[in-house]
Structure 1
Amino acid sequence: MADTTADTAPVLSLHQRILGDVEQNILSGRWPPGHKVPSEQLLAEQYGCSRMTVNKVLTQLARAGLVQRRRKTGSVVLPQKAQSAILEIYDIREEVKALDRPYSHDILQRSLRPADKAERERLDLSQRQKIVSVTCLHFAGEMPFCLEERLINLAVVPEAEAEEFHDLPPGPWLLGHVPWSAAEHRIAALGANEVAAQHLQLGAGTPVLVVERQTWRLDQSVTHVRLTYPGESHALMARFTPMQA
């Protein structure tokens, strides 16, 4: 049974609001490369906060390579490096629909709790930070299609504290609520562990395909997910082109 959470969404801190607004202006192209970011003083007046708060936001954006800070002329938007990913972040619903089968999902577990040591190391969290842990089973028709085990960093996605994921599964919900700037995949062919075997209706040790993915927003981890697919019914394919000089 899913744990209950507060009915109201948490209020974003001023730091999170300013970071989100400036980041969105850059990633959406509204502020193109070379655009001069409003000064610390102007941003502080706009948001009704101290210049120190604005300074911390701009420092975080500079570490992530979105802006360049100049002592006398202020901050400017940097060009973003062209990147191509071998694996995109797919919506599992679309994978099922591509098989011409009806999609559904079931939230098996959802909890709001402090991260344990291994989770803190994986997401680079402090000891006091909380996460949302979600286990979701995706179906293609009546058959289990994928077991999703996900951790969400509430410091980056505070809205997840009040989200139950019954209407929309965690993956597309996150894609619609927070932009990500980097992702890492790890793919392995393994034998199904006890949890995966039970939910995917497989024998223990049956071959499965495991995709682990972690995404970042600037220099903060957004989420880590472990996706387990029955090995005999799933394959990954990628198309790519040679890098251009």
Structure 2
Amino acid sequence: MDERVEKTPDTTLHHRILADVENRILSGEWPPGHRIPFEHEFTQQYGCSRMTVSKALGDLVRRGLIERRRRSGSFVAYPQVQSAVLEIQDIRHEVEALGLAYAWRPQGRTLRVARAEDRNRLDLPPRARVLAVTGCHYAGRRPFCHEDRLISLRAVPEAENEMFDDNIGPGTWLLRKVPWSAAENRISAVSAEPEIAATLGIAAGTACLVIERRTWTADQHITQVRLTYPGDRHQLVAAFTPSQSS
């Protein structure tokens, strides 16, 4: 018995639409964030039913190539980022690896004597001085992640005069300037607070991935940072080998 599916005009057009859109995305002709034609525009272009177009677009959504936004249309999806849990990633390199332009936009910079919460974050003695920096990393025109960082001026005194306003975020600057000997990552899922949600361009309460990292050298902490990512755009990956038994 021949179980091959019979090719009909609708199935042929479905695959043609699917292939045409996929090729335009993968070739870079339609970059991440680009709005693709509305369904009625596809039906006119290909002379097919709206059901055929909807099925093709649904397949593209399942492949992770486009995302559909209510009342706004369909857009080329931004690639999902994968970060290694056991490494310190330079956010600038992560963004550029996606083929997108990187930008750092500072929001706040404060020099102060360490508060009680600062001393807890960086295990500092009384009267120690710190630099608090907040800002947002961008991938193309889209917010990538929010950063809230505390730097110990005891460990990194030269940070006091660094403005972090030339598209070089604090993390990139620290990786270039300050050697570290140990680090700790804490990972959690949170609902975006209104202020951070506004910065990231998402609705308050949206699920986000938070990475809290501390680094230190010898016996003193260098920095503690809280990075908040929209949860649907980021994955964490840990590569490891079986532990050796004695």
RMSD, aligned α-carbons? 1.3
Query: 3-state SS of the aligned residue for 2:237?
Result: coil
> Any residues of structure 2 matched to 1:61-140 within 5 Å, and which?
86-140=85-139
Q: Return closer, same or farther for 1:199/1:86 CA change in 2, 3 Å cut-off.
A: closer
Partner of residue 212, structure 1: 212
Deviations 1:204-223 (A, max 9, x none): 11000000000111111100
Identity of counterpart residues, as a percentage?
54
TM-score normalised to structure 1 length? 0.63
1:226 matched to 2:226? The reply is: yes
**CA–CA distance in structure 2, aligned partners of residues 131 and 191 of structure 1:** 28
Give the aligned residue type for 1:209: L
Alpha-carbon distance, 1:244 to partner: 3.7
Q: Return closer, same or farther for 1:132/1:186 CA change in 2, 3 Å cut-off.
A: same
Partner of residue 242, structure 2: 242
Alpha-carbon distance, 1:127 to partner: 2.0
Query: 3-state SS of the aligned residue for 1:132?
Result: strand
Partner of residue 183, structure 2: 183
1:172 matched to 2:134? The reply is: no
Partner of residue 160, structure 1: 159
Give the aligned residue type for 2:119: R
TM-score normalised to structure 2 length? 0.63
1:150 matched to 2:153? The reply is: no
**CA–CA distance in structure 1, aligned partners of residues 232 and 184 of structure 2:** 24
Partner of residue 201, structure 1: 201
Alpha-carbon distance, 1:86 to partner: 4.6
**CA–CA distance in structure 2, aligned partners of residues 207 and 86 of structure 1:** 19
Query: 3-state SS of the aligned residue for 2:171?
Result: helix
**Gap runs ≥5 in structure 1:** 1-84
Query: 3-state SS of the aligned residue for 2:134?
Result: strand
**CA–CA distance in structure 1, aligned partners of residues 100 and 244 of structure 2:** 39
**CA–CA distance in structure 1, aligned partners of residues 113 and 101 of structure 2:** 36
The alignment of Structure 1 onto Structure 2 pairs a total of residues equal to 161
Decide whether the 8 Å contact of 2:114 with 2:129 is kept in 1.
Answer: yes
